[in-house]
Structure 1
Amino acid sequence: MPAPLPPVTFDVAAAYPQVAAGRDALAAGDWPALRALVDAQDAHGRTVLVGEVGGAPDAEPVLRGVLAEHPEDPVAGAMLGAHLIRVGWRIRTALRAQHVSRKQFADFFDHLRRAEQILIEVTARHPQDAAAWTQRVTSGRGLQVGQAEARRRYDRLAAHHPHHLPAQASLLQQFCPKWSGTWEKTHAFAHECAEAAPPGAANAVLVVEAYLEQALDHDRVAAASQFLREPAVAAGIRAAAERSVWHPDYRDGWGWVWVRSTFALAFCLMQEWHPAAREFAALGGFGDESMFGYFGDGATEFQRLRAKAYAKAGRP
């Protein structure tokens, strides 16, 4: 009888202990400790901490207090901007626009406009701040600033951080048809990012995400699976894996749970169970449910597909 599968945690703080430490410092009101933690990370880590710690429900009073004393602090400003964006997006929900009420949209735009005012100040004083620019790419999408302005914001960031995956992932959404883009733009940008990044970097996951977005736009699992199994698409996904998670220089770093979860979902839908099982095994007890949620409850779907991959291919 096979051993039971380990439970899966989808809490970002479990996969990245710095997030847990940051949340603890915020809850304790220990800004020096939180600031030191953020400053010790690379640009990707700073961006993750700004979003995840700033997104805490009780973050606003602490961050406004810090900004009152230190109005030029870029971390406090970026975190408060991230907080307002997350609150606004929770109000809007992830539903298609036709299912969002006028009141929800009004509150959503209000939060994003307030975030913009703060983030404009941060990026003006600190134009190299990847975390603040990443938040501006996201807020710009919600405020419908348009493709050209969204790209301008990303390009300002990329001048200092040319392979910044969090911002690339946010801009990729802007180029999808659901945000008034096109599949041609979506795939072109994904390949641009993948090909510019060094071999073994995680950026090639964007190619997979672009294919998944197009596949999942069909709204039916069978149709999505058929699309991903088309020879050219399947070859593109395998090539992305060879360039990233299967490359000998690849290392799990910031964002690795999302990266491997994205590949796992794609291989499941392609019915390529051995590579899917390989990615689930590499994830261990961690998972990112975001794209699995297209089919219902993300956590449930993640665990269902993991069990199916192991049943089909064995557990590596």
Structure 2
Amino acid sequence: MALLRNLGTTLGKWTGRPAARIDADAGDPDVRRVREAAEAADWATVREVLEARPESEDRTGLLWAVGDVAGAERWLAEATAAEPDAPLPRLAAAVRHIGWAWEARTAASAKHVSREQFRIFHERLDTAETWLYEVAEREPEWISPWYGLQITGRGLQVGQETARRRFEAAVRRDPHHLGAHQQQLQQVCEKWGGSHEEMHAFAREAAFGAPGGTPLGQLVALAHLEHWLALDSGPDARYIRQPQVVAALNEAADHTYRHPDFAGGPGLLPLHNTFAMAFSLAGDTASARECFRATEGRVTEFPWNYLDGSDPVRAYTEHRARAGR
């Protein structure tokens, strides 16, 4: 693996392209800072970073960086006990319980998950739900608890009607919140009890119901990738290379990152990676090249892990080469 990384760096020098590398921070420098603080069990710094990013500017990415840190549940329990009426430590502890729940369940298919694993999974999600509702009650304008409840709801299989109510609660607080829309897109996917038709309709309605330049156009690309993923080899390529799919991807790109009002900024790196993969699979080389250029070699694990779960960088690099970038 080290040899491959060194070879990638050398090729980058030869071609003038930045060497591809995983960017676990999604282009947001505060994500690394809060993750490192969480790994050091430094609640004071974690709190400082979280409080500096108001809910109105979306701090869900920061919360999930904390929630992904193994063992964080221990010191977060201490932080919550020290301030039992404070919503922020309880929110962070709830998010960690969501990540902790999925650690117990693992990514294996349901038939390979034991009864005991499922018991722990549900127990931790139940705890997270309790805390998220408590935070939502104490801070009724915050969107983060409702975003978390979208995820726990899918794990606990609360059903489409309840899931829709949770999504609606989230977007009442932030109508164009990308994460909340991404969670609802997953909810209406065929694999979670929805359908391709419902998924595409939701993506288009959300994307084009929002002002031009917002990142919600990414939903259209995500929906086509989910549809592609659900098909067998052969039909998947024929599907995503259809002229109407290519046209839909370009229409969404025009409404999103190509729009004159697109602001860019930290946290939008996944958007360019998503469109890069979608356009590459669709055979639109010029549009794919445009997106690869915008990523500057920074790879987000999702959605490239759809192509190569063990090495998203390899999948990115192969498709970037095909695009001539």
Question: Is 1:205 the counterpart of 2:226 in the alignment?
Answer: no
Residue in 2 that maps onto 1:295: 307
Residue in 1 that maps onto 2:138: 125
Report how far residue 16 of structure 1 moved: 1.6
Report how far residue 133 of structure 1 moved: 1.1
Residue in 1 that maps onto 2:5: none
Match for residue 71 of structure 1 among 81, 84, 89: 84
Report how far residue 223 of structure 1 moved: 2.4
Distance 2:68 2:247 in 1: 37
Cα displacement string for residues 175-228 of structure 1 (whole angstroms, at most 9, x for unaligned residues): 1111111222212221221122221011110011011101111142x4222111
Question: Is 1:195 the counterpart of 2:208 in the alignment?
Answer: yes
Cα displacement string for residues 258-308 of structure 1 (whole angstroms, at most 9, x for unaligned residues): 111110010111111111111111101311122222233323212221222
Say which SS state the counterpart of residue 299 (structure 2) adopts: coil
Residue in 1 that maps onto 2:153: 140
Any conservation in 1 of the 2:26–2:269 contact (CA below 8 Å)? Answer: no
* AA aligned opposite 1:3: T
Residue in 2 that maps onto 1:150: 163
Cα displacement string for residues 232-277 of structure 1 (whole angstroms, at most 9, x for unaligned residues): 2221111100000111221323431111111001011111111111
5 Å matches for 1:160-179? 160-179=173-192
Residue in 1 that maps onto 2:45: 33
Residue in 1 that maps onto 2:195: 182
Q: Say if 1:229 and 1:108 are closer, same or farther in 2 by CA, change over 3 A.
A: same
Q: In structure 1, list runs of 5 or more residues that go unmatched.
A: none
- Give the CA RMSD over aligned residues: 2.0
Q: In structure 2, list runs of 5 or more residues that go unmatched.
A: 1-10
TM-score normalized with structure 2 length: 0.88
Residue in 1 that maps onto 2:19: 7
* AA aligned opposite 1:118: W
Residue in 2 that maps onto 1:232: 244
Distance 1:71 1:59 in 2: 17
Any conservation in 1 of the 2:160–2:187 contact (CA below 8 Å)? Answer: yes
Instruction: Give % identity.
Output: 36
Residue in 2 that maps onto 1:264: 276
Deviates more, 1:262-271 or 1:195-204: 195-204
Residue in 1 that maps onto 2:322: 308
Say which SS state the counterpart of residue 158 (structure 1) adopts: helix
Residue in 2 that maps onto 1:55: 68
Distance 2:203 2:84 in 1: 36
Deviates more, 1:127-136 or 1:82-91: 82-91
Match for residue 35 of structure 2 among 11, 17, 23: 23
Deviates more, 1:204-213 or 1:294-303: 294-303
5 Å matches for 1:72-91? 72-91=85-104
Say which SS state the counterpart of residue 38 (structure 1) adopts: helix
* AA aligned opposite 1:78: L
Distance 1:50 1:72 in 2: 19
Deviates more, 1:97-106 or 1:197-206: 97-106
Any conservation in 1 of the 2:125–2:156 contact (CA below 8 Å)? Answer: yes
Any conservation in 1 of the 2:189–2:199 contact (CA below 8 Å)? Answer: yes
Q: Say if 1:168 and 1:254 are closer, same or farther in 2 by CA, change over 3 A.
A: farther
Q: How many aligned residue pairs are there?
A: 310
Cα displacement string for residues 12-52 of structure 1 (whole angstroms, at most 9, x for unaligned residues): 23722101211233344443432232222243541110111
